[in-house]
A and B are shown apart, each in its own frame.
Chain A
Amino acid sequence: MVEIICAGFGGQGVLTTGLIIAHSAMMLGKEVTWYPSYGSEMRGGTANCTVKISDGKIASPCTKKPDIVCALNAPAVDKFESSIKPSGYLFVNDSLVDPQRSYRSDIHVVRVPMSEIAIRLGNPKGANLVMLGAVAQHTGIFTLDELEEQVAHYFAKKGKVNPKNADCLRAGAML
């Protein structure tokens, strides 16, 4: 069982990030759950979702001790860093978090200037995709190729084909 929390500002594609993770894992034959913050919880500008991936049935869609946290902004780090299981992963959007910030030493912290990379690649809304590339590279929950296929599929279904999405994924995986 892998438990993942994605968090950030509304509009950063936080829920989409989780959705792509869940969908990709489902296509690989896994059981998945995706659970969002919803209703008035969403209106305050922050959003998060929990994704669980398992070979067997999943009981609760929530977790208090995630294996992986994808933090797209500083409040997300503040809120979820302490909950990560020892040896777990914290992916940090370094573009929006104080570079002097110190982190727990018993977890893997992967710092990527996601927003900057996305802007540089001409895909300013793609910071979450840079994050996904890094997640694939470091955690092995799916390969970069599998992820790329699912991302293409996800956006094609929405009628938003954009070759720069793959660039963002690959850039995230290189770091």
Chain B
Amino acid sequence: MKLKAPESVFSSASFCPGCGHGLASRLIGEVAEELGIQHSLVTVVDVACCSFNIDYWKFDTIMAAHGRDIPTAVGVKHVRPGSSVLAYMGDGAAYSIGMAETIHAALRNDNICVIVINNSVFGMTGGQMAPTTLPGEKTATSPKGKDPTRYGTLSGVELLKHMDIAYLARGELVGSAGMIKAKKLIKSAFQHQLKGDGFSLVELLSPCPTNLNLPPVKARDFVHNEMTKYFPTGVFIDKGGVE
């Protein structure tokens, strides 16, 4: 078997060492090519770390305002229903500033794919506490550890579980098994969109060694051992399947 980088992804990505974004970017490129949608796909990326992808992908791409990726993507999809449309954002965008946008796109069952990179912190701004920060987790704005009596820990997937949407899943960008699984989740989400089933959201737990102040291997372990306790992986909604 010959390993080959997808042509849809430029090779010059400069995410931090050990960051999950680069892995997700590549998986999305591979999926787009396998599904043959790489020439019609329009991506919408959030500002901050997600926005680097505007220069890594060979897709038509919009850089949206923070947390407004989903409505932006919905606007594109209405005008270009023949294009596959992806909104790519972090947990801060999806579950903090853009929570209303996430929930209401799900409520309308808008036919787009959403990929949320959940690294438990606000990455680009320097590792501040997010709704996804674990109880006790030290961040730049919770230096003594997140106080669960003041700030809860939010699972966006849990909130969306009972909504009438096409697809909902969570994976982790950790280890080869995690990567294979994550790719499958991404692919399923796009397949649902191609079938016209509506809203799909895939959350990918992702290491952020820089802001967790951990070496890449330890950051990976944090995702796999700690984050999954609060954010279990799996497929939660798969309306009618994709096969």
Q: Do chains A and B touch in the complex (CB under 8 A)?
A: no
